[in-house]
Every structure is written in C-alpha cells, then in structure tokens.
A and B are shown apart, each in its own frame.
Chain A
Amino acid sequence: MTRSVTRRLGNTAVITGAAGLSLLGTVQTFRDTDVWWHLELGRYISTHGIPMQEPFAYTPPAQPWVGQQWLYEVLLAKLVGITPVLASITMGLAATTAFIIAARTLPRDVRIPVNWLAFSLLVNVFVAAQLLGVRGQVITVLGVAMVMWVIGRWRQGQNRVLWLLPPILAIWCNLHAGFFLGLVLLVVAIVLPQSPQWGGRGNRRLLLLATVATAASTVLNPAGIHLYQYVASTFSNSSITTLVTEWLSPDFHNPWLRFFELDVLALVAAWALSPGGPKLGDVVFAGGAFVASLTAQRNVSIFAVIATPQLARYGFAAWEAHRHRIIGAKRLKPPPLGAAIIGGIALFAAIGTGVAVSLTPGLSDLASGRFEAQRYPKAAVDYVLNHYPNQRLYAKLETGGYLVYRIPENRVVLIYGETAIFGTAGIQRYLDIHLLRPNWTSQLAATHAHHAILPSTTQEVAAFHEVGWRINCYDAASDYVVMSEDDLSSITARAIPSDPRLAPACLGNP
C-alpha cells in the first residue's frame, strides 16, 4: 500500500469518524413541536391530496392553503409509518451530509489537513444542533450547503456545475420554504465583484443564466408562483417574530448561543490572522449569515454550515502562520504506518460504538414513547379524547401541532405552527388570550372553546380560573392540565387558585 493511498484512506476515516460523531448532535427525537402537524399533514396529503384550505384548525384562515412543504411532509409520514426512528435517522443523516458537503466546498487547490476539517465540522454541527433534528429547517441547511458547494466550484471556474442548481432548487422548493435562501445566495454570488484575489474565476453570465433557470424551476410546485406570496407573507408578518422564539434575536444567556458566539469569534480571528486575509465572498456570505442570526436565531444553523469550510481553511492558515510563536518550529512526526492503521481502526470502532450506544436507547420505541409522554400532553389528550370528543380546545401555539396530530378531525385546534396561514388577525386573537390582554375574556368567549389543555405553569391556568374554569385533571408526566369552563353561577364564590398538581391524574378512560 503506497503512502498516498494510506493517507487518502486515513483522511476518509477521519472525516467519516467526524461525521459519525456528528450524528450525536444531528440524530434527535421529535423535539421540534412543529413536527407533529407536518406529520399529520403528510398523512392527510397521502390520502386526500394537498388541501385547498387549512384542514385542522377552527380559526378561520386568512388565505388559501399553500402546500409549501408537501413533499417533506409526505416523506416524513412515510418514514414514520415504517418506524419513527427512521425519520430521526434520515433527518440526522441529511444534516450531517449538509456539513460534509459544506466541508467539501473548499477549493481543490487549498490543501487543509483533514483533522482541521473534521474539527470544524464537529464544532459547527454542535453549534447548529439545537436547530436540527426532525424538522424542515434541516432541508434548508442541506440546500444551503449544496448551493454553497456549487458556488464554490463555480468560483474555481467549474461552470458546468451550475446546471445542478435548477433540479436542486426544484426539489428544495417542494420540501421547505427556505429555498428562497438558495436564490439569495446565488444573487449575492452574482453581485460580488469577480477577481482571482477574491476567489472568483467563474463565468458570471452563466451564473446569471443558471440563476434565472433556477428561479424558474422553483415554480414547479403545487402552489406555483403563489409560493413566493407565502414566503413574503411569512417574512413580513411581524406577529410571527413576537410569537416564535426562533425568530427572535439570540439570548446569549443560553449556553449554546455562547458556543455560537465563540464560533463567530474563532472565525473572525482566523480571518484576521490568516496570511492574505479572507476572500471577499467568504466574508460576505458568513457575515450575512451572522447578521441574519442576530435577527433570528433560527439562522444560526445557516451560519454554521457556511462557517464550516471557512473555519477549517482560515483557521489552519492562521495556525500555520503563527504556530512558531506558540510551539516553535517543531512539527509532529507522523506515526508509523502500522500503528496509524491500527490506531485508526480502533478509533473508528470506538466512535461507532460510542455513537451507537449513545443514540440507540434514546431512539427505541420505549424511549420515544416516554419522551412523547414527557414533552407533550399525551395523557391530557387521552383524557380529552375520552371525555370531550370533537369539542373545541384552547391550547398554546406550541401544543397546537401535537393536538393536530392526535385529534386531526373536526377542527378542534385553535392555532398551530403554520401561523402565517391564520394572518395577523388570527395570530392577534390568539395573542390577546395568551398574553391576557384587556380583551382576553371576550376573545376567549369568541373561540367557543370550553376546554383547554395547558402547561400547569402558564398564565392562562390562573387566569381561566378567575373566569370560571376548573382543572379537571393533571398530566404529571408532561406537567399539563386539562381545564373546562365551569358553571358561571359559581364564579363569585371562587377561592384562591390551588396548586394544579394536586388535581386528579389524567386518565384516558372515564
């Protein structure tokens, strides 16, 4: 075996090992609250086709339904239909693939030790991990990685890869509305000045042509051009930024966002310390993603995927330029060939075993069931299904998706994660109640909901008590309660609310 073959094998092993380790961050249970309504919608589409109107909620929709993620939803339903674990693994692999593709974005003439790439990949996967898992955003992370890879190759003068863009975007726009980001990246690449110094050797006219073709290809979806209307209405709806944590600025008290901050700092330091400095395009793309992340923390995953190749490239360059100041001119000798192979295999086996041992218990049916019961109001919904079937419910937005999954028929859900469809009026009505605004009682009455499923610590529990609702039962596993509107005549005699955890346990059967 020649030295070069061994080195290549070694490199592959290191990257594969890093990718394997990254699965610890990317393969997740159904942590995202929106996964449930996507799943139910996938089932719905499989049997009924894409709906024309919003199919689950009793809040009147503000606009016709846009099946912007129909393909993701159908695939999700198929995977979960086989086994839920398959969905977790598939989405985890998709996320890991995104970061591997991102690492491959580096120009071929830039030689970087594979351990730097592996390090950067792992760092950025764990920065993004909070935003990955079983969710449509992973598709956008993968799409961004692919588009960045194409742009990277184009910048190296490989113009033919541009024609991969139309099919990529045509699929992406049927999977997730984040496809719009792909077009933005392409427009930025067109606008950036071309010079070998700044890493641009591609044919700009061809890129422009490919971008036009790509934009045209995004019309190949069930909603056609109206998909853009959906994207615009989502981005322009200020209520969504009030409502959804992911659209808020990052809270840097949160440790994982401190990790993101360190990632940004490391990248800026690498840029500043690398000889020759960064390419303009790299600064623009990573800088833009950083700004987007400061505006909405969901974009941290996009930053991570864009930063992966850059951290490796400039980090290594900076290290090479300044290492002599820290460790002198010494270089580590490579280990003997035999030892390297044995060590590599041992490391690989250890990583594989570690990943399998760490992931398997969390993904078993038993663990998934336990996770669902602890994170979502499983017992509370069972109670409602048995005691108040087909009756309208009030629930928080975050719970709405799970309710859709559990009670898809008869429109018993007020609102769920597809907020844009309800328009500003629908969202505001929910917020009036949820934030206990002055008109909250009249808005609650207008819903004609007489039952509620709520986290026991939420303000609605105490507030509803004051207007004559009682707690029927307490779901100890998820810390939710089921409440019902009481006889109005008893309101004047209502006592100070007592601990909801003392209510009878939620049992499925009467």
Chain B
Amino acid sequence: MPKQDAQRPMPITRSAAYRALDRVTRPSGLVLSTVLVIMLAAVTKPVFDPDFWWHLRAGQIILATHHLIPGDPFTYTVAGHSWTMHEWATEVSFAWLHSVGGLGLIIAVIAGVTWLGLLAIYMRTRLDRPNPQIAAASMIMAALVGTPIWGPRAQMITFALAALVLLLAERHLRNGGRAIWVLVPVFAAWSNLHGGFIIGIGFLLIIAVAELVGHWLQWPGSAAPSRARTLVFVAIAGLAAAVVNPNGPSILIYSFATQGSPVQQANIQEWASPNFHDWQISLLYAPMLLTLILAIILNRHLRAREVALVVTTVALSLQSVRHIALFVAVATPVWATQANLLLDKWRIHHPRRGAQRSTAPLSTRIAAYCIVMAVVSGAAASRVVVAAAQAEDSLAYAKDYPVCAVRWLATAPPNLKLFNQYGEGGYLAYKLSSRGDKVFAFGDAALMGDDLLTEYMHVSNVKWDWDAILAKYHTDIAVVDTGEPISNVLERSPRWVRLYADPKSAAFVRTDSPLRHQLPPQTALPTNSGDVCVELSRSQPDIGS
C-alpha cells in the first residue's frame, strides 16, 4: 500500500439501514413522513356516499346466492330492467369486509386504497426530482383538494388505479421496459371493480397521441415515438382484457351511458359543475387550478402529455365535481414540477447567502422524528378511528340517512312500496330489501333509466303530475326528507296523511290507504335517553310526533 494512501483516513462505510435512517430523519424526510400520515387522515371518512349502501347490499346478495343479480332487486318501478353489474367485485369485497370487520374495515380498506393512489401520485411527482418541501406541499394540496370526493366508495378504486396508470405510463415514457404491460391484467381486474376503467384506457391513449403529436411538432421533452406507440398497444390490450367480465363487451358501452345522459348529468349532484361559492371548491380546488395555470404561463415549459392530460382533466373537473379526483391525479406532479421551476428561477436571482446549515446529530434527529411522528400519528389516528368506529345506527349517520324512519318501518307489515329521496334509496334498500320492501329509485342511474329519473324528478320537484306518478306505481308510503318541497306539499295535501316524522325524515300514506291503520304509531319507538332516535329528536325538538 503506498504511504500516501495509508495516511488517508478510512472512509466510513454506512449500512443501508443507517443511510435510510439518516435520510428519513432529515427535515425533508420528516416533512414527507408527516405528509404521508396526514394524507391517510385526510382520505379517511365515514360513509357519505349514499350509493355505498346499495353496493353493500348487492354484494351481500351475491355472496349469499353465488350469482350476479340479473335484474333490479330493489325497486318496484323498474324491476324488469336488466342490471349491468359493473362493480360486482367491489360489491362482493364490501360485503366480505363487512362480514369480517363491519363498516369500519371497509372504511379502513378504501382509505388505504385512496392513500395508495396518492402515493402513486407522489412517486410520479418524484420523477422530476422537485424540492422535497414542494413535493410535500403538493401532496398536502392534493389531499385537501380531493376532500369533497374522498371516502368509502368504489370511485376511489378508479382514482387509485388511474394514478397507477399515470405512474407506469410516465415511467415507461422515460425509461422504457416491459413493466407497462402490468396494466393489462390491471384493466381486467378494474373492469370488474368499477366502470371507471375506461378513464385509464383514455389516459393511455391521450398520453400516446399527445406524445406522437409532440414528437411531430418537435415539442421539447417528447418521448420516443416507439414508447408512445407501446402505450397504444397496451391500451388496446387493456380494452380487450376489460371485456373479461360477467357483462362482456357491453361494459364498454355502459361506461359511456351516464356520461351521455343529459337527465343524469342535469339532476345528479355529483355530476354538476363545481360551485365556486362553496368553500371547499373556492379555497382548495380553485387555488390549485389557478396557481397551476399561472405557473405554466410563467414557466412556459410543459411536456405535450402534461398539456393534454391537464386540459382534459380540467375540462372534466369543470364539468363534474366528481372528476376533481382525476384532476388531482393528473395535476399534482405537474404543479410540483412547475413550482419547482419557479423556485429554481427565484434561486438564480436570490442565491442563498451565508454558511450551509449544519445537520443535527442522528440521535437528536431520531428523537425529534419520533416525537413529531407520535403527535401527528396520534392526531391522524384519532380521526381515522372516529371515522372507522362509527356504528351504522349512530347519531352521525342518523343525521344523513333515514336511520330512525327505517327503524319505524321495520316494525310495519313487509313488502312495502316506498317512494324515497334518490340519495336514500340505497340505504333503504340495504336495510329493508330483506323484508321484501322495495324503493322507488336508488343510485344506479343507468339501471333506473332516464324515463324513471324524469318521473322521480317530477315527484321530487312537485310537478303537476307528482301524485299521478305515485299512483301509477301503486306507491304505499312516501319516506322523504323533512323540509324538502315534496314533504311540505304532502304535509298540506288532503289526500295524504303523515304518520311519522323526525328531524331527518317524514313518512306519509294516502288517507284512504288501509296501511294507515296497519302501520305502527311512532310512539311505539323506544324513548330511553341513550337511544339514537331520541338524541336525533332532541337536536330539533320542534319536529317529530
């Protein structure tokens, strides 16, 4: 060994675990860890999607019968309609999870799926190696902007898988390889889980076309055309794989049914355009949209595929609130990259002065990391546990769903034909279909059909033919939200009489109906102080029996 080398100090070799610990406990690692935990808390919510309940009930029926449900089992209005069960696998999963761990397990699993989707977005964000703080900020923003959408619902599967598609496509365009073909079986599974698989196919085609056009236009940052062409082949293979489901090729048409129905687009809240008077939209979605546009204008540096995806998802999210999740999936990495470019420009003009800040010893950082993570995890866990531990008949759900009215109806003679609010059909079907009770409509708008939805809107909005429609379908009882126009008209109608009311729901039957005397009095319900319905009534004591 030369003398010179012998005098040099030995290089310190660190184990991989040490290096990982060192990286994680640095300020950037701490911020990222905190963000990942906060993200989990942000996406964990109790059931607010009214469609959840009928999905759960449908899954229970499939599990019990080992068959898909061929026709509508829940309504007395369109019972003859054949049912394209495009989410059967999700429904079965819900039912199985429910049987194992109740509502809380479903909430936890779907929160996990959503979190994985956000993680895929984060991994795509990291591909451009932005400043860690910017990456963390973009992820916080993503978690917040999607607030109106997150929750236990099948759509979260589409969100997570769409984020996966975007991640794999981006990696493929940068590095090539065969990993992109993983998407073919993913599409096969996806088409059985949720009809939104078509969005994944659409993303692949949009990226491929944008890149091919970008290459033709010599757009900076365009990928090799061969890689873009591979995406087209994957999309075609994915489309073929998606046909492997109980509904066969009809699943492809189904995916466009809702998008192409003006009745559904006009009347279903989730398909409405975002209301910028709503704080969640004006304080979360709008700033992300506007700062993204501003950064793009200032930087003027965007890949062709990013342009195409951002334009598409902005248009989709302006059309329907539910598509904000897709906007988040697409725009978050673009936002981070654009913000990073601005930061780089800023640093050119404002270079850091003074000595580099020294890093604290590892032991100190570990201690600080543990303390911060304990606090953040505790706060996040409290939210997660509260959401997951919410019982189906808790006061929180009783304020959103006709929990108490259902309890009253459960004591009535079975096989009732119920007129219901569109958003509550799923809950009523979940709770009462086993008794043979049927609802007027529930959340599968494509199954209901435009004609029934129009009729529903006529009753709900009290058009002149509202009562004729109820009579046409031999409706036994109307269970509607207290304070809704139809409720307030039924209250005044000489042909209807109210038999039940709580702060959430009211139930009416025709004055000449024999049911009027067969239904139990509301006073038959329990009156002990701990009961959820008593608590609900106390919240608005002026409404009730």
A interface list, Cβ under 8 A from B: 241, 248-253, 261, 265, 268, 271-273, 277-278, 283, 287, 291, 294-295, 322, 325-326, 435-438, 440-441, 456-457, 459, 461-463, 465-467, 491-494, 496-500
Contact = CB atoms under 8 A, between A and B. Distances in A.
**Centre residue among A325, A326, A462, A494 by max chain B CB count within 10 A:** A462
Contacts of B467: 462, 496-497
B218 A249 contact: no
A436 B485 contact: yes
A272 B488 contact: no
14 contacts: A248-B277, A253-B319, A265-B311, A268-B296, A295-B282, A325-B218, A436-B462, A459-B485, A462-B489, A463-B462, A491-B494, A492-B494, A496-B471, A496-B495
Given A457-B463, A459-B461, A466-B494, A438 B489 contact: no
Among B218, B296, B318, B465, the most chain A Cβ lie within 10 Å of the Cβ of B318
B298 interface: yes
B297 interface: yes
B273 A291 contact: no
Contact of A249 (B275, B462, B488): B275
A291 B290 contact: yes
A303 B266 CA distance: 26
Contacts of B217: 322, 325-326
A250 B319 CA distance: 9
Interface residues of B, number: 43
Which 5 A-B pairs rank lowest in CB-CB distance, beginning with the nearest?
A436-B485, A459-B462, A496-B467, A249-B276, A466-B493
B273 A253 contact: yes
A272 B300 contact: yes
Nearest to A253: B265
A498 B467 CA distance: 9
Given A277-B300, A283-B294, A438-B491, 18 more contacts: A249-B277, A251-B273, A252-B318, A252-B319, A253-B262, A253-B319, A272-B297, A287-B294, A325-B217, A435-B485, A436-B462, A438-B483, A463-B462, A465-B464, A493-B494, A497-B466, A497-B467, A498-B464
B468 to A, nearest CB: 5
Contacts of B471: 496
B256 to A, nearest CB: 16
B296 A462 contact: no
Q: Is the interface of A mostly helix, strand, loop or mixed?
A: helix
Nearest to B296: A272
B483 A500 contact: no
B272 interface: yes
A250 B218 contact: no
Contacts of B493: 466
Interface in B490-512: 491-495
Nearest to B272: A251
A273 B300 contact: yes
B97 interface: no
Interface string B473-497: 0000000000101001101111100
A135 B298 CA distance: 38
A91 to B, nearest CB: 29
Contacts of B262: 253
Contacts of A248: 275, 277
A459 B294 CA distance: 45
Nearest to A497: B464
Name, among A457, A467, A491, A497, the residue most crowded by chain B CB atoms within 10 Å (CB to CB). Answer: A497
A238 B216 CA distance: 51
Most B CB within 10 A of own CB, among A436, A441, A497: A436
A500 B463 CA distance: 10
Given A459-B461, A463-B489, A250 B273 contact: yes
A181 to B, nearest CB: 18
Nearest to A496: B467
Nearest to A254: B273
Nearest to A291: B290
Contact of A441 (B273, B466, B492): B492
Nearest to A250: B273
A436 B491 CA distance: 11
A496 to B, nearest CB: 4
Contacts of A283: 294, 297
A241 B277 CA distance: 9
B367 interface: no
A326 B282 CA distance: 39
A494 B492 CA distance: 12
Nearest to A238: B277
B182 interface: no
Given A272-B302, A463-B492, A499 B276 contact: no
Interface of B: 217-218, 262, 265-266, 272-277, 282, 286, 290, 293-294, 296-298, 300, 302, 311, 315, 318-319, 461-468, 471, 483, 485, 488-489, 491-495
Given A249-B277, A268-B293, A466 B489 contact: yes
B276 A438 contact: no
Contacts of B298: 277
A322 B217 CA distance: 9
A510 to B, nearest CB: 26
Nearest to A463: B489
Which residue of B265, B286, B294, B492 has the most chain A CB atoms within 10 A of its CB atom? B492
A467 B492 contact: yes
- Counting chain B CB atoms within 10 Å of each CB, the highest count among A252, A268, A499 belongs to A252
B464 A499 contact: yes
B286 A440 contact: no
A438 B265 contact: no
A253 B320 CA distance: 9
Contacts of A261: 315, 318
Task: Give the most central of B275, B290, B302: most A CB within 10 Å.
Answer: B275
A496 B318 contact: no
B286 A294 contact: yes
A325 B217 CA distance: 5
B286 A291 contact: yes
A461 B463 CA distance: 7
Nearest to B216: A325
A44 to B, nearest CB: 34
Contacts of A466: 489, 492-494
B221 to A, nearest CB: 14
Nearest to B286: A294
A243 B272 CA distance: 18
Contacts of B318: 250, 252, 261
A436 B464 contact: no
Contacts of A461: 464
A322 B461 CA distance: 53
Nearest to B460: A459
B290 A287 contact: yes
Given A271-B297, A272-B297, A496-B495, A438 B488 contact: yes
A456 B464 contact: yes
Interface centre among A249, A326, A494, by most chain B C-beta atoms within 10 angstroms, is A249
A273 B296 CA distance: 10
Nearest to B319: A252
Nearest to B271: A253
Contacts of A463: 462, 485, 488-489, 492
B442 to A, nearest CB: 23
Contacts of B468: 496-497
A499 B468 CA distance: 10
Contacts of A498: 464
A306 to B, nearest CB: 15
A249 B274 contact: yes
A456 B464 CA distance: 8
B213 to A, nearest CB: 10
A258 to B, nearest CB: 8
A494 B494 contact: yes
A394 B206 CA distance: 53
Contact of A497 (B272, B276, B465): B465
Given A462-B463, A496-B471, A436 B275 contact: no
